[in-house]
Amino acid sequence: MRKQAVLTTLLFAAAATAGAQLPLSAPAPVAPEQPSQPLSPALRPPNETFNGSGLVEKPVPGTLQLSILDAIDRGLRHNLGLLLSREQTESARAQHRQVLSELLPNITGNVNESINQINLAAFGIPLPAGLKSPVVGPFGLFDVHGNMTETFLDLSAMNRLRASTEVQKAANFTLQDARELVVLAVGNQYLLTLANAARLDTAKAQMATAEAILQQAQDMKKAGVNAAIDVLRAQVQMQAQHQRVLAAQNQFEQQKMTLARAIGLPVSQQLELADKVPYAPLPELNIDDALAQAYQRRPEYLAAEARLRAAELEVKAAKGEAWPTLQINGQYGIIGQTPGSSEQTYNLSGGVKIPVFQGGRVKADVAQAETTVRQIRMQLDDLHNRVEQEVRSSLLDVKTSNEQVTVAGQSVGLAAEQLKQAQDRYSAGVSGSLDVVQAQEAVANANETYIQALYLNNVAKLSLAHALGVAEQQTKAFLGGK
């Protein structure tokens, strides 16, 4: 099949990159981190072609406001993976027309005019009375005729035509699947860009807090109620936050270029995300209903079924090679020495071609076609099982990530309260600046966990929409839109 491992988005690379943006436990934001949870089997890296564009628009002046639905719409018009799939669909249509031409009338026309001089003796024709020389001519010959050949009965060709029809259906389903993948890939890139924007905003807010704490430490040192080590510790923390801002800013700009490349915008185009990070709990789905919908809607699964039907028809076509074929031939035209003296002529014939001995070719063709059927049937059985795994895995991911978002949101509030209390204790001289620094890191950890949880939740919902075969139609609903 064209796509066995292409199911979701850049989640593996994206999640690893997301963890690298802001460290969760150390002041220095330089070491990338891996995702805190193993990835679902349904979340696999997609085909690289879905990260590029076959058509690139011209840049527009100023900053382009880009919503997630606008990004998806641009991806459906410009994404390289989809455009390549569209060309494969056109190739399947051309092959169907080629097979169809074998059963349609084949008509040709000829126009000839010649001057001839012949030697009758060379052809063994006795010299007619009155002629002294066997050479006749020169004389003119004008000939206009049309030829038609049509196969009226060819079981092999008829089954090949039916098989090519199924192949064309499979190509159309594959094109639909490519559109689903574009929605998945572009949606993921947009959500990852939103996550990076949130990390940048969080890093800037944390830097502002670090600057305020440094100013407080310097004021307290001047008043003689603070040690120099507290000022130094606050300076180190502010520098660490500054590094986080720089890293987050760089990653945000890099991610915007990645998003632009996937949707056909020039990487130099200035973008501003019009949407905020969406979040809405997804209504619980019945697993049996979800699986039934997936088998009815998944373009990839429907394409595999069409390929199986095509292979079964190829078996019938191979067996049909041993059956007689009926062909009709006809010719109609005018012939004479000159166009004015030409007379009508025609010929109509029919024949039956009966295969008698073909050296075992039919048996070999049937065996090869049956082998293809068995291979495709095994692939379809595996895909049937994989679809169920992806639906179940996506449902588990959505449920787990919903709970993670709730817990992470509570952690953000607790970390913020911890920082406030640490600042109050430090201002009152009850504790040192170390408690404030640790509280700041707790806030950074909580914010990063919350951003990551939101991102994973939205990607899980996109993956579920793809697993059900409704990514293009219901992306907005799955992300919490109206």
| Residue-level pLDDT at 210 | 87
SS3 330: strand
Per-residue DSSP letters for 243-298? HHHHHHHHHHHHHHHHHHHHTT--TTSEEEE-SPPP--PPPP--HHHHHHHHHHH-
| Residue-level pLDDT at 446 | 93
Measured CA to CA, the distance from residue 232 to residue 121 in angstroms comes to 121
pLDDT digit string (tens) for 15-60?
Answer: 333 333 333 333 333 333 333 443 344 444 456 788 888 888 888 8
pTM (2 d.p.): 0.78
| Residue-level pLDDT at 279 | 83
Which segments of 265-390 are extended strands (E)?
A: 270-273, 325-336, 343-353
- Token pair 């998806």: residue: 72
Which 8-state DSSP code applies to residue 339?
A: G
3, part of any domain? no
Query: What CATH number has the domain bearing residue 221?
Result: 1.20.1600.10
Q: Which H/E stretch holds residue 111?
A: strand 106-119
Measured CA to CA, the distance from residue 22 to residue 198 in angstroms comes to 11
Per-residue DSSP letters for 9-63? -SHHHHHHHHHHHS-SS-S-TTS----SSPPPTT-----GGGGSBSS-PPP-SSE
Which 8-state DSSP code applies to residue 79?
A: B
55, part of any domain? yes
112, part of any domain? no
Measured CA to CA, the distance from residue 90 to residue 174 in angstroms comes to 12
Measured CA to CA, the distance from residue 385 to residue 372 in angstroms comes to 20
407, part of any domain? yes
The number of distinct structural domains making up the chain is 1
Measured CA to CA, the distance from residue 211 to residue 200 in angstroms comes to 16
| Residue-level pLDDT at 342 | 85
- Candidates 463, 416, 316; CA nearest to 11 is 463
229, part of any domain? yes
The answer to whether 167 and 310 have CB atoms below 8 angstroms apart is: yes
Which structural domain, as residue segments, surrounds residue 185?
A: 11-104+161-319+364-478
Integer distance in angstroms from the first to the last C-alpha of the chain?
36
| Residue-level pLDDT at 108 | 92
| Residue-level pLDDT at 265 | 93
458, part of any domain? yes
pLDDT digit string (tens) for 416-435?
Answer: 999 889 888 878 877 777 88
- Token pair 């410009």: residue: 78
141, part of any domain? no
109, part of any domain? no
Residue ranges of the chain whose pLDDT lies below 50: 1-45
Average confidence score pLDDT of the chain: 85
Per-residue DSSP letters for 170-217? HHHHHHHHHHHHHHHHHHHHHHHHHHHHHHHHHHHHHHHHHHHHHHHH
Fill in the amino acid letter for 19: G
